[in-house]
Amino acid sequence: TGDESWLYHKQIGRKSANAAWVAKRDPPPTVVRLSKFAPRTLFSIFFKSNGPVIIHRIERGQTVDHRYYIDSCLQPVVNEIKRQRPSFGTHGIKLLHDNGKPHVHKAVCDYLESEDITIVPHPPNSPDLAPCDFSLFDFVKQNIGDHDDAELLNDAITTFMYSLDPEEYRKTFDKWVERMQLCVDNNGEYFEHLMK
């Protein structure tokens, strides 16, 4: 699976980490938000059930269209999978990515088909069913600390992701299967409140 996410150079915590119960008459706690102009870098990260496949830093100002997605994201993923599985290559590989425009472009689908990679369909507007969105990106953001520039941030993310126990990646996919089943069981309705 894979996706893109903005990572800020300075971390201030997640909304969920700042949640608090307050009495009716008490004011809610103040939560600091980063400015939309705060330094940040866009990353494209792909991982499988036992660890990262590629971590790609997208240069400032670069537009991620279907051509860029194929050339700079998918081709390195395919090359890395072939390197890791010289006997099997990409045969039997399934890719889950969301329905972002670059991901569903015909050229992307044709490229993946030519590489014998099966695209796992993703329900529209469902970040709660994308492993990168419901698990990995928040986990990375909580653990990388502050960094002065994009290169140091890239190094921190790479070091962190490769240091994770492969079991963490497997658990992410187990959670994905559980979430998919909850979605089916609830006829596609909201199910976050049912999570354990």
pTM of the model: 0.83
Sign of the dihedral defined by the CA atoms of residues 171, 137, 196, 120, in that order: negative
On whether the CB atoms of residues 42 and 22 are closer than 8 A, the answer is no
Q: How far is CA 156 from CA 28, 89, 107, 135, 163, in A?
A: 33, 29, 33, 18, 10
The full set of domains in the chain, from first to last, is 2-10+36-184 (3.30.420.10)
How is residue 164 annotated by DSSP? Answer: S
Tens digit of each residue's pLDDT, the chain (196 residues): 999 998 888 876 655 555 677 788 888 777 666 667 778 899 999 999 999 999 999 999 999 999 999 999 999 999 999 999 999 989 999 999 999 999 999 999 999 999 999 999 988 878 888 888 888 888 898 899 889 899 999 999 999 999 999 999 999 999 999 988 888 888 877 777 667 6
Residue 146: closest CA among 137, 136, 138, 156: 156
Residues 6+ apart with CB under 8 A from 167: none
Tokens (6 digits) for 7: 């990572």
Side chain identity, residue 167: E
Tokens (6 digits) for 147: 């960094």
On whether the CB atoms of residues 98 and 127 are closer than 8 A, the answer is yes
